[in-house]
């Protein structure tokens, strides 16, 4: 009897988790943009929100690559 390669489940989970993280990052960016807008003229808040948005964008970039790799491995292992 052939059992499915467990790695595919693992990578499918990883991809789903990564997508959740990306969504969380986008929510955070949205929140920071809202705070930045409400505190227009307050340079400290503006600077802080800009820094957070910058970090979140970088994190999303990294996660995007990770999700893509997880999907590729998942598809590959399903083929096996």
Partner 1 sequence: MQGQSAKNLKEYEGEDQVVSSHEFALRLKENPDSIIRVKSLIPSLDVGIEDFRDGEVIGISGPPKTGKTLLAQTLTVNFAKQQYFSLWFTYEVPARQFLSQFPEMPLIYLPSKLKAHALPWFEERVQESFLKYHTRIIFIDHLHYLIDLARLRNPSIEIGQVIRRLKTLAVNGGFIIFLLCHTTKGARENNDLSYESIRDSSFVSQESDTVFMIKRTPDVGENTAKLRVEFHRRTGVLEKVIDLVKVNGLLQEQTPREERPVRRDWDSP
Residues binding partner 1 (CB under 8 A) = 26-27, 29-31, 33-34, 37, 40-41, 50, 53-54, 57, 60
d(CA 19, CA 21): 5
Q: How far is the CB of 79 from partner 1 (least distance, A)?
A: 22
d(CA 16, CA 36): 30
Q: How far is the CB of 53 from partner 1 (least distance, A)?
A: 5
HSE-CB at 1 with a 13 A cutoff on CA atoms is 1
Nearer to partner 1, 55 or 73 (CB): 55
């Amino acid at each position: 009897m052939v059992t499915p390669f467990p790695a595919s489940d693992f990578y499918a989970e990883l991809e789903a988790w990564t997508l959740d993280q990306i969504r969380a990052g986008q929510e955070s960016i949205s929140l920071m943009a809202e705070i930045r807008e409400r505190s227009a003229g307050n340079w400290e808040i503006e600077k802080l929100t800009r820094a957070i948005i910058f970090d979140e964008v970088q994190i999303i970039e990294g996660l995007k690559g990770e999700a893509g790799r997880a999907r590729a491995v998942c598809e590959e292992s399903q083929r096996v």
